[in-house]
Structure 1
Amino acid sequence: MPLTVYAPASMGNVGVGFDLLGAALAPISGELLGDKVTIAFAEQGIEFEQTGPWAHKLPVNADDNIVPQCGVFFLQKLGLTHGVKLTLEKNLPVGSGLGSSASSVVAALYALNAFFDSPYEPQALLALMGEFEGQISGSVHYDNVAPSYLGGMQLMLDTPETVCDAIPHFKEWYWVVSYPGISLSTAQMRQLLPEQYDKAVAIDFGRRLSAFVHASHSNNPSLAIEVLDDVLAEPYRAQAIPGFVQASAALAQMGMLTSGISGSGPTLFTITDSLAKAQQAQQWLSEHYANQDGAFTHICQIDALGTREV
C-alpha cells in the first residue's frame, strides 16, 4: 500500500543558535507547512513525479532532483533492488530560509524507511539524513533536518552517541514567519559572514546560546527573549534581505518581543505571547514585507510532532 509522509518547515539558527539550534513550525490555522512524499512499489528502478505550488522551481530530470536521489541512496545503503515510485508534493519555496531541501530529504527518507519496515532506528535515520544532506550541500548541518524530523526545538550535540537533543519550548509564544516571495542562496548568504570572529563576539554568542538553553529548561521566557539575539549572522545578512531592517524596526515599535532571520533568510520571524499582536504583525507583514507573488505570512507555534504519516 502507498504511504504519504509530511515533514514540517523548520527554522534554522533560531536567531541565537547559529548552526546549533532549530525548530519545527506549525501554523495555528492547521495548515501543513511542509513537503509531502508518497511512496509505492514500482516495477523497477526509481520512478518519480512532482506536484505542488513550488514543483516548477525544481529540476525535472530525476537524476538532478534530491527526492529520487534519496531513493537511490537509501536502497544502495541496504543493498535493495526493489523498484519504488516517489511522488513529491513541493509546498515550500526553494531558498526561503524555511528548510525547504531538508523537508524534502526528511520526508523522502522517512517514507523509505517506513515503507521497508523501519530498518533504521530514529537516531540512525537522523544520521543518514545528515549524511545525505551533507552530500548535496557540501557540509552537514542538522539544524533544519533534526527539527523537521523529530519536531520541537532541537539543540545540536553531534556526539558519537547523540546527534541532537530536544529542549523545552515556550508554548505561549507565537512565531510569525513571513516569506517575502524571493529566494536567496544559502551558500551566498554564508559568504557574507567573516572567516573569523572577534573573541568578544564568540564569547557573547556562547553566553547567549547557553543562557537561552538555561531559560528554556527553567521556563523563564523573559530571560529567553532578553538573550535571543543573533550576534554572528544577522549583522552581516540583514542589509542583504530587502526590507528586513525596516520590518524589524516596525515590529519592535508594534511591541513584538523580538525578531530575526529564519535560517539564512529571506524569511523573517517575530515572536509574541499575544495572539492579538501576532495577528497585527501578520497583517503588517502581509502588506509591507510579504507582498510579492508567492509570498506568505503564517502565525505559527512549534510543531511538536515532527515528520509523520498523513
Structure 2
Amino acid sequence: MTIRVYAPASMGNVSVGFDVLGGALAPIDGSLLGDCVSLAEVEQGIEVSTIGKFAHKLPSDPKQNILYDCAVAYQKELTQLGKPFKGVSLVLEKELPVGSGLGSSASSVVAALYGLNEFYDNALSKNQLLLLMGQLEGQISGSVHFDNVAPSYLGGLQLMVERDDVLCSTIPSFDDWYWVVAFSGAKVSTAEARALMPNQVELKTALKFGQNLAAFIDASHRGNSDLAASLLVDIIAEPVRAPLIPGFVESKNAMLELGAMASGISGSGPTLFAVTTDLAKAQQLQDYLQQNYIQNDDGFSHICKLDTLGARREALRGTV
C-alpha cells in the first residue's frame, strides 16, 4: 500500500484573530501551495526522508525531522488502542519555505498525520487527530495552537473554539474574495516572533480585539463582505512584528493605496496578504509585490482563494 497526501498552506491569525483564526490557501492557477507526504509499508520501523525545493532547510538526521516524531506519536496512539503498528516509510515533499508565515510546519505535520491515519484505516477520530496535530506542531512553534493545523487539515476559514470535543468551527467565507499572498524570501522564526509578543495588553486593546473578532464573525455569517473586510485589522501582533519585517509597512500601505480591501501579515510573517474582490486588481497587487516585496529566489507570490478541501489524497508522483 502506497499513498500520497497533500496539506495546504495556511494563514494564521488572518489579522483579526490572533491565535484563534486561520484560513487554508489554494492558488487559483491550480498549483499546490503546501507539502505532500508519501507513505509506504516497509518491513519494520520508521523511515523518513525529505525531497523538494526546501528540503535542504531541514535537519539531515531523519530522527530530527518532525515526520519522525509524528510517526512515533501516532504509534503510541495505536498502542493505547491495542492496534498493531506496521513498518512505514514517509517521504516529505518540502515545498513550503520554513519560517514563511504560511504554516510550513503545520502543513508537514498535517500531511504526515492525515496520511498515517489513512494508512492505518482511520484509527483516530477527526478530533483525536486534530489534537495530535496541534501537539506536534507545537513542538516546532513553541506552543500548542490550532490556527494553522485546523485549516490545513479541515480547509476553509476556521475559528478555534477549544471546548470539550469541539476544537474549531468553520466560518462562512466569501467566495468572491481573492487572497494575494507574497513570501519575501526572508525567514521569520515562529518561536522568535512569539517571544516578541507582550505578556499583557491594555484593557482597551483587549476589548477592541474582542469587538473586532466578534464583529468579523458576525459579518461573515451575515454575508456582509465590506464590513468583514474592514475588520481585518491586527491590533495585537502587527504593531510589534511589522517593523521587523523588511518592506512590510511600505508594501501594506501600497496595497491599500492600490485599492485592496485589507492587508496584513500572514501568521508570524514575513508573508504579506491582501484582499480584493476584483481579479484584475489582484493581479495588479501581485505585480507590485513581485517587483517590490520579494527579496530573493526563495520568494514567491500567488493569487489564492480559500482552500475548502483541506488535507486530502493526491496522485502518486509520476502518475496521473
Could you tell me which runs of 5 or more consecutive residues in structure 2 were left unpaired when the two chains were aligned.
315-320
CA distance in 2, matches of 1:142, 1:63: 24
Please report how far the alpha carbon of residue 295 of structure 1 lies from its aligned counterpart in structure 2 after TM superposition.
0.5
Please report how far the alpha carbon of residue 136 of structure 1 lies from its aligned counterpart in structure 2 after TM superposition.
4.2
Residue 62 of structure 1 contacts residue 69 of structure 1 at CA under 8 Å; is this kept in 2? no
**Equivalent residue number for residue 32 of structure 1:** 32
**Residue 145 of structure 2 is aligned to residue 141 of structure 1:** yes
**Equivalent residue number for residue 168 of structure 1:** 172
Q: Which residue identity is paired with 2:164? A: P
Listed as ranges, the matches of 1:1-310 within 5 Å are 1-79=1-79, 80-310=84-314
The Cα RMSD (Å) is 0.9
Question: Kindly tell me: are residues 138 and 284 of structure 1, through their superposed partners in 2, closer, same or farther at Cα, counting changes over 3 Å?
Answer: closer
Q: Which residue identity is paired with 2:118? A: A
Secondary structure in structure 1 of the residue aligned to 2:39: strand
CA distance in 2, matches of 1:81, 1:19: 34
Secondary structure in structure 2 of the residue aligned to 1:163: strand
Q: Which residue identity is paired with 1:169? A: S
CA distance in 1, matches of 2:163, 2:146: 12
Secondary structure in structure 1 of the residue aligned to 2:163: coil
Please report how far the alpha carbon of residue 137 of structure 1 lies from its aligned counterpart in structure 2 after TM superposition.
3.7
Q: Which residue identity is paired with 2:211? A: R
CA distance in 2, matches of 1:113, 1:67: 13
Structure 2 length-normalised TM: 0.95
CA distance in 1, matches of 2:310, 2:246: 31
Secondary structure in structure 2 of the residue aligned to 1:59: coil
CA distance in 2, matches of 1:66, 1:172: 36
Runs of 4+ aligned residues of structure 1 deviating over 6 Å after TM superposition are none
CA distance in 2, matches of 1:130, 1:171: 28
Query: What is the aligned length?
Result: 310
CA distance in 2, matches of 1:247, 1:227: 19
**Equivalent residue number for residue 318 of structure 2:** none
CA distance in 2, matches of 1:129, 1:104: 10
CA distance in 1, matches of 2:257, 2:136: 43
Please report how far the alpha carbon of residue 173 of structure 1 lies from its aligned counterpart in structure 2 after TM superposition.
0.4
Residue 7 of structure 1 contacts residue 34 of structure 1 at CA under 8 Å; is this kept in 2? yes
Please report how far the alpha carbon of residue 139 of structure 1 lies from its aligned counterpart in structure 2 after TM superposition.
2.0
Query: Structure 1, residues 87-115: CA drift from partner, whole Å, max 9, x if none?
Result: 00001000000000000000000000001
Please report how far the alpha carbon of residue 249 of structure 1 lies from its aligned counterpart in structure 2 after TM superposition.
1.1
CA distance in 1, matches of 2:49, 2:204: 50
**Equivalent residue number for residue 317 of structure 2:** none
CA distance in 2, matches of 1:42, 1:36: 19
Structure 1 length-normalised TM: 0.98
Residue 181 of structure 1 contacts residue 292 of structure 1 at CA under 8 Å; is this kept in 2? yes
Query: Structure 1, residues 241-260: CA drift from partner, whole Å, max 9, x if none?
Result: 00000001111111111100
Residue 186 of structure 2 contacts residue 295 of structure 2 at CA under 8 Å; is this kept in 1? no
CA distance in 1, matches of 2:141, 2:254: 35
Query: Structure 1, residues 145-196: CA drift from partner, whole Å, max 9, x if none?
Result: 0000000000000001200010001110000000000111112111222121
Identity over aligned residues, as a percent?
A: 56
Please report how far the alpha carbon of residue 27 of structure 1 lies from its aligned counterpart in structure 2 after TM superposition.
0.2
CA distance in 2, matches of 1:248, 1:138: 28
CA distance in 2, matches of 1:243, 1:29: 26
Secondary structure in structure 2 of the residue aligned to 1:196: coil
Q: Which residue identity is paired with 2:265? A: I
CA distance in 2, matches of 1:56, 1:30: 26
More moved, 43-52 vs 97-106: 43-52
